[in-house]
Structure 1
Amino acid sequence: MTPLYEQDFSEWVERQASLLRQGRFDDLDVAHLIEELDSMGASERRELINRLAILLAHLLKWRYQPERRGNSWRLTIKIQRLDVAALLRDNPSLRARLDPFIHDAYAKATLQAAREIGVEETLFPAVCPFTVEQILDDHWPDAAA
């Protein structure tokens, strides 16, 4: 017989929540609950890295192609900053791990920015040129020297 977890995930979630509310801990599907909780945490981390990558790519484009700056890039930067702030507000423990997340996001951002503006990724610094504050706050990088 196929377990409820595999048969109807939504119903399984509702059942687990009901069991928790009732204090029926012995009836919980603990193995799958642990798996789902781990997955939820990983999902939040991936979402943060993806948002940071989009933000960093646009900050790089802003810095390295000032002649192409426009409302679209400006608004994307603002939207991603709002989204990152919301993720950090909802998951404050992620703030303490921003440095490695920025490192991972920057690797993606250089490739994305290079593809979008038609340059080699080696145009950009090997490590992120922006501080955490510059990434998250209202910072608008000047053109590259």
Structure 2
Amino acid sequence: MASQYESDFYGWTLEQAGLLQTGNLDQLDTRNLLEEIRSMGNSERRELESRLEVLFMHLLKWQYQPAYRGRSWQLAIAEQRRKIVRRLARNPSLKSELADLTADVWGDALLSAARETGAEASDFPQKLPWSWEQLMDNAFFPDSHK
């Protein structure tokens, strides 16, 4: 027989919230509640990773395909910067993971940029060439690749 967690997740969340609110902690589904809390934290991290990947990819496209630069790319870069800043403001503990996150995401961004541009991933810098300050500076756009 399926538990409410498996058969009616929304109903389960309402029930768990009610139990917390009334202080009936002994009735909580702690195993699944812990899993959901961990999952929420991982979701925040994945969202930041996704935003960083899109930002990196667009900055690479901007640098390596100057003939295609346009308002759309500018706005995509600006949007990702805003969303990254907002995500970090809401989750300041993620700041301590930025060095690892950016290094991990860079490889994904290389593959995305290769897919988008038709270039090889090896044509791009293998390490992130921009500082965090540059990445978050709305006036920063990389120069053309020479």
Question: TM-score, normalising length from structure 2?
Answer: 0.95
Question: Partner residue of 2:132?
Answer: 132
Letter in 2 for 1:43: S
Question: Partner residue of 2:97?
Answer: 97
State the alpha-carbon separation in 2 of the partners of residues 41 and 61 from structure 1.
31
Measured against aligned partners, the alpha-carbon deviations of 1:85-143 in whole angstroms (never above 9, x if no partner) come to 11111111111111111112111111111111111111111111111111122221111
State the alpha-carbon separation in 2 of the partners of residues 31 and 136 from structure 1.
39
State the alpha-carbon separation in 2 of the partners of residues 15 and 127 from structure 1.
48
Coordinate RMSD, CA, aligned: 1.0
State the alpha-carbon separation in 2 of the partners of residues 91 and 11 from structure 1.
27
Question: TM-score, normalising length from structure 1?
Answer: 0.95
Question: Partner residue of 2:13?
Answer: 13
Query: Identity of aligned pairs, percent?
Result: 47
Question: How far did 1:5 drift?
Answer: 0.5
Matched, 1:46 2:46: yes
Question: Partner residue of 1:35?
Answer: 35
SS at match of 1:6: helix
SS at match of 1:36: helix
Question: Partner residue of 1:76?
Answer: 76
Q: Which runs of 4+ in 1 moved over 4 A?
A: none
State the alpha-carbon separation in 2 of the partners of residues 88 and 15 from structure 1.
31
Question: How far did 1:40 drift?
Answer: 0.8
Letter in 2 for 1:93: S
State the alpha-carbon separation in 1 of the partners of residues 7 and 63 from structure 2.
51
> Gaps (5+ residues) in structure 2?
none
